[in-house]
Amino acid sequence: MTDTVESISSMIVEKLLANPKVPRDIDGNSKIVEDLAFDSLAVMNFVMEIEDELDVSVPLDKLADIRTINDLATCLAALKSGAH
Partner 1 sequence: MTDIFAKYAGLKAAAAGLTAHSPRNPFGVVIDHPVSATIGVIEGRETLLFGTNNYLGLSQSKAAAEAAIETVRREGVGTTGSRIANGTFALHRALETRLAEIFRRRHCMIFSTGYQANLGAISALAGKDDVLLLDADSHASIYDASRLGYAQVIRFRHNDPADLDRRLARLKDHQGAKLVVVEGIYSMTGNVAPMREFAEVKKKHGAYLLADEAHSFGVLGEHGRGVAERDGCEDDVDFVVGTFSKSLGTVGGYCVSNLDGLELIRLCSRPYMFTASLPPEIIAATLAALDEMQARPELRKQLQANAGQLNRGLHKLGLKTSAHVSPVVAVTLETVDQALAFWNRLLELGVYVNLSLPPATPDQHPLLRCSVMAVHTPEEIDRALQVFGQVKAEILG
Q: Which is nearer to partner 1, 4 or 84 (CB)?
A: 84
CA dist., res. 49 & res. 37, Å (int): 18
Which amino acid is it at 44? M
Query: Among 4-12, 25-33, 56-64, 70-78, which window interacts with partner 1 (CB under 8 A)?
Result: 56-64
CA dist., res. 38 & res. 53, Å (int): 20
Which amino acid is it at 37? A
Judged by CB under 8 A, the residue of 4, 59, 65, 81 near partner 1 is 59
Q: Which is nearer to partner 1, 23 or 59 (CB)?
A: 59
Q: Is 39 a catalytic residue?
A: yes
User: So which residues are the catalytic ones?
Assistant: 39
